[in-house]
Structure 1
Amino acid sequence: MHTQRTAVAALALVALAACGTEKGSAGSSTPAEPDVPLTGTGWTVDSVTAGGQVRKAPADAGIAFEKGRVNGSSGCNHLSAPATVRGATLTVGAATSTLIGCPKNLQSYETALRKTLTGKLAVHLSGGKLTLRTQKGDSVTLTRKPAERTPPLVGTAWKVDALTDGASMSTLPPGTAGKARLTFAKDGSVRGNLGCNKVSGMAKVTGSTVTFGPLTTTRMMCKGPAMTLERQLLKVLHGPVRYGIQHHVLTLTAHGGTGIRATA
């Protein structure tokens, strides 16, 4: 009888051990794969391989991973999209982009980048190199940028390069790119150019808010697109505005959600 009880107990222990190691069983201790550390990093795009063709990226093409988003430049247009990392998988949602007309060869690269940098991507990170690969085998290869000092709001010359509205982003009116600039001074003033007329006034910085006082402008008569840009900028540069700086990009967002994107 004693021998029979011992055998039954041994069989029970074997059964319990088997249950504990069964895939998906209760009490499974299989550790989750750690997320690849991309948030807060910036990358230079080396090339895009799509449809068996390798397209080399222009020198100023790059992307940065921020909390919940990927932002960057194709070398012509700026793009932004929601992005999440789970283990070694990056999921990129629908992107918004400026709509600057690009040279034909650059447009081909940009189209390939946008099509490849979307959906679920397998992430391979090795040292300073990053590869993002689609299920079809297309890929984006990138090189880690050296850590950059985030430029301060005050004392930096900011060039306006896009208009924003919530999560969407649009290009500046035709012929106005590179003309609108803002510089915030230590004495609480701001001055710059709205794309045609010069602007100056007060801008008090408190935490993550800039409160613009009355702004004065010169009275030059400008062509249609320049005046359109000026009116759009003045709508944002009024009263309290939320600001944020990621890497070398400044965003100013008014209460209604409209805003400005500028680069240092």
Structure 2
Amino acid sequence: MAAHLVRFGPIVLLALLAVSACSSGESDSPSSPPDQTLMGRTFLSTGVEGTPIPGGGPLRLTFKDNRVTADAGCNTHSGTVAAEDRKLVVSSLASTLMACGGDRQGADEWLSGFLNSQPGWQLDGPKLTLKNDNLTVIMLDKKVAQPDKPLRGTTWVVTALLTPEAQIRSQTIDDVKPTLTISPDGKVSGTAGCNTMNGSATGTDPDLSFQVATTRMLCAPEVMEVEQAVLKALDGKANATVDADTLTIKNENGNGLVLHAQ
């Protein structure tokens, strides 16, 4: 299923920019410390006072190259960003348009409502606090909140499939929970959706070459469809990159997986 884009009008967001060091007239006056700069950083919510994020979130905000990317567990929103009066003004905001199961169906509405409320902000090192009349969201720099998990030895659970055209999430993926574990010596084990799989991953991280075999059971068609997509991603050369608790595998054949640490 292709991820379409839907555009929204300009949205006023929270304002968080680099805090400039005040000049005291001394030649050795320090510049802004890196931990007071938003750009190039990702923040994750660690707590919400008020209406909780449907599905549990977390809220994720990434600032890079004068753009902001946001999601609360379902679709990804992004747009250009500029600072105005301690708020962030986002324009040309667009969103992926994927169906999300369970409580996550309400995550996009929660996110857009919060962003449209022009929340105030306070940045204290790695801690970011966003607040409007009804909600207070505590966020933490992702490097502090979620250090990278080790690629090898971690059990990874598939949350999305990647094709050359789209990122696909579905209730079937959530239900069958395909898993992948790569041992320190390169042995591969896990479940492809229906069948158990084993094999090897050779090479130097993050560039690996997969060889995987499975048992031969048959399951429901929608489960077998997920399994075939998993096996395509684990066939031959692929790049396996860890970002906090997320592993992204992109195969040279154009297929891939998004996985989260168990």
TM-score range, shorter chain: 0.5 to 0.7
Match of 2:260 among 238, 260, 263: 263
Distance 1:179 1:44, change over 3 A: same
Shift of 1:64: 3.4
Deviations 1:176-227 (A, max 9, x none): 53520000011112110011100111112424212112x1100111111110
User: Equivalent residue for 2:69?
Assistant: 70
Structural mapping, 1:216-231, within 5 Å:
216-231=213-228
Shift of 1:140: 7.0
Which structure 1 segments of 5+ residues have no match? 1-33, 49-53
* More relative contact order, 1 or 2 (CA 8 Å, 6+ apart): 2
Structural mapping, 1:1-264, within 5 Å:
36-37=37-38, 39-44=40-45, 46=47, 55-58=51-54, 60-66=56-62, 68=64, 70=69, 72-74=71-73, 77=74, 79-82=75-78, 86-87=82-83, 89=88, 91=90, 93-96=93-96, 98-103=98-103, 107-114=105-112, 116-117=114-115, 124-127=121-124, 128-131=127-130, 141-145=136-140, 146-165=144-163, 168-172=166-170, 174=172, 177-213=175-211, 215-264=212-261
Mapped contact 1:242–1:253 kept (Cα < 8 A): yes
Aligned counterparts of 2:177 and 2:213: Cα–Cα separation in 1: 18
Using the size of structure 2 for normalisation, the TM-score is 0.66
How many positions carry a matched residue from both structures?
Answer: 215
Shift of 1:123: 6.8
Counterpart residue identity of residue 131, structure 1:
L
Greater Cα radius of gyration, structure 1 or 2: 1
Aligned counterparts of 2:176 and 2:58: Cα–Cα separation in 1: 19
Shift of 1:154: 0.2
User: Equivalent residue for 2:25?
Assistant: none
Which structure 2 segments of 5+ residues have no match? 1-33
Mapped contact 1:157–1:182 kept (Cα < 8 A): yes
Report the RMSD for the aligned CA atoms in angstroms: 3.5
Shift of 1:44: 1.4
User: Equivalent residue for 1:15?
Assistant: none
